[in-house]
């Protein structure tokens, strides 16, 4: 199924920026998108995958290995032929079983052939791509714990049914949810590098434009894609250029100092805030073809990198984004 072009998504700039940054710097290992239904969360995730350049994989490899050497021994990949495929986006549905996520003994092969083989799960499929969890706040706790563990280590370890398998599982975790249905545990919140709150556009013209584009896309997808291809290509080029430039982006002492001061003033827990701020700032600088991270980059990144890391202050009526913005203004001027 063809995805809606990323470039044609109306508004929702914070969400688009956050997703582009993870495409530039996959070590920004997650984006959390919270907002009402029908605001285009899933559309954006799928659109991003279609925007990204294809990846090279070994044909038939269940974990999308890049080189024949990287193909794990437990797979049955015979010849090491390379092919290119779109960046994987794997949907993780609610109510999914642990077996499906991590992979398990291939019951079919075991029954029929009496062989002990590993059947890879969703984590394997998502390797080198995106793992998308809709309604992440309703996911069962034990699955969340498992995901956190893997996202942290970049490796999936399966010890069950007499199997002992490990394989790389590096993916960008994209979680979406509706805040009215419950919230995420702080531990989980913290693992998402970036967090965006989105709302339906309140401007009627913007809403009309959304529907107009969506209607045009569904009526004639090919023509619509063709119209947007130049802009898609432009964004794709910028992402690719930014990826190459990423290591050369300078992070001056002043930027580090700014980041630290900002996090301290906000009282964000741990050092993850600073680290994310710097990484995201660097990715933004790279995307905008700037040679170094400057204060303005940090200022723009701060709301999406820090708002979900604040200590909860239930007596504060203002949202955390407002707090971050206010504080950023104070600290960074």
Partner 1 sequence: MTSTARPDDSLPQTGVERANLAMRMAARDPDGLKGVILQARAGPLRDAVVATLPAQTVRIHAGIGLEALTGGLDLAQTLVEGRAILREGLLDRPGWLLISMAERLPREIVAVLSQRLDRKGTGPVLLLDEGQEPDDRIDAALVERVALHVSLSEDERLQNPHLSAVPSSPFRGARASHAAEDTATLAALACRFGVNSLRAPLFALRSAQAIAGLQERDNVQPGDLAQAAALSLAHRATCLPDSPVPPDAKDSPSPNTPDTSRPVDPATVSDSLPESILLEAVRAVLPTDLLSRLAGGTSAVRRCASGAGQRKTGNRRGRPLPARRKRPSGRERLDIIATLRAAAPWQKIRRSAEATPGPRIWPSDLHVRRFEDRSDRLLIFAVDASGSAALARLAEAKGAVELLLSQSYATRDHVALIAFRGQAAELLLPPTRSLVQTRRRLAALPGGGGTPLAAALKIAGETALVAQRHGLSPALALLTDGRANVALDGSADRAAAQKDAQQMARWIYGLGLPGTVIDVGRRPRDQLAVLAALLGANYTPLPHAAAEGLSRVLHDSLA
Q: Using CB under 8 A as the criterion, what x/- string covers residues 151-180 for binding partner 1?
A: ---------xxx---------------xxx
DSSP state, residue 250: B
Scanning 34-42, 47-55, 260-268, 273-281 for contacts with partner 1 by CB under 8 A, the matching segment is: 34-42
Nearest residue (CB) to partner 1, 54 versus 93: 93
DSSP line for 199-230: -----HHHHHHHHHHHHHHHH-HHHHHHHHHH
Q: Is 107 a binder of partner 1 (CB under 8 A)?
A: yes
Cα 330 to chain center, whole Å?
30
Q: Which of 212, 264, 288, 291 binds partner 1 (CB under 8 A)?
A: 212
When asked if residue 39 is in the footprint of partner 1 (CB under 8 A), the reply is yes
Torsion of CA 198, 204, 205, 211, to 10 degrees: 70
Q: How far is the CB of 202 from partner 1 (least distance, A)?
A: 9
Q: What DSSP string runs through 160-178?
A: ETTEEEEEE--EEEEEEE-
Q: Is residue 97 a contact point for partner 1 (CB under 8 A)?
A: yes
Instruction: Give the shortest CB-93-to-partner 1 separation in angstroms.
Output: 4
# binding residues, partner 1 (CB under 8 A): 59
The nearest distance, CB 314 to partner 1, in angstroms, is 4
Instruction: Fill in the per-residue mask, 231 to 250: x = in contact with partner 1 (CB under 8 A), - = not in contact.
Output: --------------------
Vertex 110 angle, CA 105 and 111, to 5°: 130
φ, ψ (nearest 5 deg) of residue 65: -60, 145
Residues numbered 118 to 137 that lie near partner 1 (CB under 8 A) are: 134-135, 137
Q: Is 110 in the site for partner 1 (CB under 8 A)?
A: yes
C-alpha span between 112 and 265 (Å, rounded): 62
Which of the ranges 14-22, 97-105, 290-298, 321-329 carries the binding residues for partner 1, by CB under 8 A?
A: 97-105
Residue in this structure with the two tokens 């990144």, named with its chain if needed: 301
- Report the nearest approach of partner 1 to the CB of residue 180 (Å): 5
Distance of alpha carbon 276 from alpha carbon 304, whole angstroms:
10
Structure tokens at 269: 């827990």
Spatial contact of 46 and 134, defined as CB atoms under 8 Å apart:
no
Residues that are catalytic: 272
3-state secondary structure of 215: helix
Contact flag: residue 318 with partner 1 (CB under 8 A): no
- Pairing status of strand 194-198 against strand 155-160: unpaired
Q: Which residue has the tokens 């995420």?
A: 184
Question: Which one of residues 183, 231, 250, 288 is an interface residue with partner 1 (CB under 8 A)?
Answer: 183
If DSSP codes are grouped into helix, strand and coil, which group holds residue 34?
strand
Interface ranges with partner 1 (CB under 8 A): 1, 36-40, 42, 91, 93-98, 105, 107-114, 116, 134-135, 137-138, 140-142, 160-162, 178-183, 185-186, 199-201, 204, 207-208, 210-212, 214-215, 218-219, 312, 314-315, 317
């Amino acid at each position: 199924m063809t995805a809606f072009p990323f470039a044609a998504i109306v508004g929702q700039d914070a969400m688009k920026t956050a997703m582009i940054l993870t495409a530039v710097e996959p070590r920004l290992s997650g984006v959390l998108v919270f907002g009402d239904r029908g605001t285009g969360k899933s559309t954006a995730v799928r659109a991003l995958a279609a925007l990204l350049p294809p990846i090279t994989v070994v044909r038939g490899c269940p974990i999308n290995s890049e080189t024949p050497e990287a193909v794990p021994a437990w797979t049955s990949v015979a010849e090491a032929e390379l092919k290119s495929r779109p960046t994987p986006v794997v949907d993780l549905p609610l109510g999914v079983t642990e077996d499906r996520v991590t992979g398990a003994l291939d019951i079919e092969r075991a029954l029929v052939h009496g062989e002990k083989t590993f059947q890879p799960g969703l984590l394997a499929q998502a390797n080198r791509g995106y793992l998308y969890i809709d309604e992440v706040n309703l996911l069962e706790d034990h699955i969340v714990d498992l995901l956190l563990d893997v996202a942290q280590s970049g490796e999936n370890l399966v010890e069950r049914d007499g199997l002992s398998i490990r394989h790389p599982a590096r993916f960008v975790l994209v979680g979406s949810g509706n805040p009215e249905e419950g919230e995420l545990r702080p531990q989980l919140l913290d693992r998402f590098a970036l967090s965006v709150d989105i709302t339906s556009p309140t401007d009627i013209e913007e809403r009309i434009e959304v529907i107009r584009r969506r209607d045009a896309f569904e009526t004639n997808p090919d023509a619509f894609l063709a119209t947007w291809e130049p802009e898609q290509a432009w964004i794709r080029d910028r992402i690719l250029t930014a990826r190459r430039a990423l290591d050369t982006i300078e992070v001056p002492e002043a930027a580090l100092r700014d980041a630290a001061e900002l996090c301290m003033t906000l009282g964000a827990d741990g050092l993850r805030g600073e680290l994310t701020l710097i990484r995201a700032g660097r990715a933004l600088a790279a995307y905008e073809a700037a040679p170094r991270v400057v204060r303005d980059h940090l200022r723009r990144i701060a709301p999406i990198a820090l708002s979900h890391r604040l200590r909860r202050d239930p007596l504060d009526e203002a949202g955390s984004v407002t707090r971050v913005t206010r504080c950023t203004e104070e600290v960074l001027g």
